[in-house]
């Protein structure tokens, strides 16, 4: 007799509900395996996102028993409680359908924080030489591995309380560019990340850091932005 799991999955849009499926409990399976099983064998109408299945793309992020996680890197045995599992779409994102969310605002905020590189040189000039041991480069390196999966944004209470808040991912990316000596856009970028919709809204609850699958710390990056914007204000550059 195969052991089974009772899996509640969110179905529908914003006003949907949880539907329960019975899934065989295998020795070695990820939460993504479970979602895939449901869609292929039990209910083909289930909508969900995934791509690489191996923990490099970030597409499969969902809310598992209340916490935002990459489902392909979440071993079912580690999260199942009393034979039960609850899978929902990421918090703080509008639901498109079932487990798929609308990520437009997330990326719009990325752009609002000016999370894009502004070059200073052309192909005709020499390469910039930046030592990896350089202090600014170290700070950028510590934050650069973000792949925009949305787990931090989903885990942040300030995002839930403040609709305008740019969020941990966008601010983290801005910080990497503030520290990029090749970049030219910092005067404008600092203005974009400061304020009650920007870095100053962060309360350092560190839920972003706690949940980031790449073990980044947006809290630290945002603290850096607070220092940088205050410095700019005192120098009259803000």
- Applying CB under 8 A, does 210 fall inside the site for other proteins? yes
In the structure encoding, which two tokens stand for residue 51, read together?
């791509």
Strand partners, 237: none
- Find out whether 62 and 86 touch, Cβ atoms under 8 Å: no
Q: How far is the CB of 174 from other proteins (least distance, A)?
A: 14
Q: In 103-222, where do the E strands start and end?
A: none
H/E segment holding residue 142: helix 135-143
Q: How far is the CB of 226 from other proteins (least distance, A)?
A: 5
- Find out whether 35 and 46 touch, Cβ atoms under 8 Å: yes
Hey, which residues between 91 and 120 contact other proteins (CB under 8 A)? 91
- Applying CB under 8 A, does 132 fall inside the site for other proteins? no
- Applying CB under 8 A, does 223 fall inside the site for other proteins? yes
| Contact region with other proteins (CB under 8 A), list: 26-34, 46-54, 81-89, 114-122 | 81-89
- Applying CB under 8 A, does 77 fall inside the site for other proteins? no
- Applying CB under 8 A, does 17 fall inside the site for other proteins? yes
Q: In this chain, which of 9, 32, 68, 169 binds other proteins, going by CB under 8 A? A: 68
Q: In 83-151, where do the E strands start and end?
A: 84-88, 95-97, 100-101
| Contact region with other proteins (CB under 8 A), list: 34-42, 62-70, 98-106, 118-126 | 62-70
Position of tokens 């990340």? 193
Sheet containing 17-24, strands listed edge to edge, beginning at the edge strand earlier in sequence: 17-24, 4-11, 84-88, 61-64, 67-70
Distance CA 208, CA 139 (A): 18
Residues in the site for other proteins, rule: CB under 8 A? 10, 15-18, 63, 65-68, 86, 88-89, 91, 142, 155, 157-158, 161-162, 164, 191, 194-198, 200, 203-207, 210, 217, 219-220, 223, 226-227, 229-230, 232-234, 238
């Amino acid at each position: 007799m195969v052991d089974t799991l009772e899996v509640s999955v969110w179905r529908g849009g914003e006003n949907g509900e949880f539907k329960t499926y019975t899934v065989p409990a295998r020795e070695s399976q990820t939460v993504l395996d479970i979602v895939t099983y449901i869609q292929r064998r039990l209910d083909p109408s289930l909508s969900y996102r995934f791509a690489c299945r191996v923990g490099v793309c970030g597409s499969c992020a969902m809310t598992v028993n209340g916490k935002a996680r990459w489902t392909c890197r979440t071993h079912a045995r580690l999260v199942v409680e009393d034979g039960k599992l609850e899978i929902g779409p990421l918090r703080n994102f509008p639901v498109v359908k079932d487990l798929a969310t609308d990520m437009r605002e997330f990326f719009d905020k990325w752009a609002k924080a000016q999370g894009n590189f502004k070059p200073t040189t052309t192909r005709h000039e020499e390469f910039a030489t930046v030592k990896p041991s350089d202090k600014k480069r170290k700070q950028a390196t510590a934050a650069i591995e973000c792949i925009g999966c949305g787990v931090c944004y989903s885990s942040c209470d300030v995002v839930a309380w403040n609709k305008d808040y740019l969020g941990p991912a966008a601010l983290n990316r801005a910080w990497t560019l503030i520290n990029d000596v090749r970049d030219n856009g910092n005067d404008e970028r600092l203005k974009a990340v400061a304020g009650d919709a920007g870095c100053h809204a962060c309360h350092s609850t560190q839920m972003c850091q706690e949940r980031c699958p790449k073990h980044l710390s947006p809290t630290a990056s945002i603290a850096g932005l607070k220092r940088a914007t205050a410095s700019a204000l005192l120098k009259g550059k803000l």
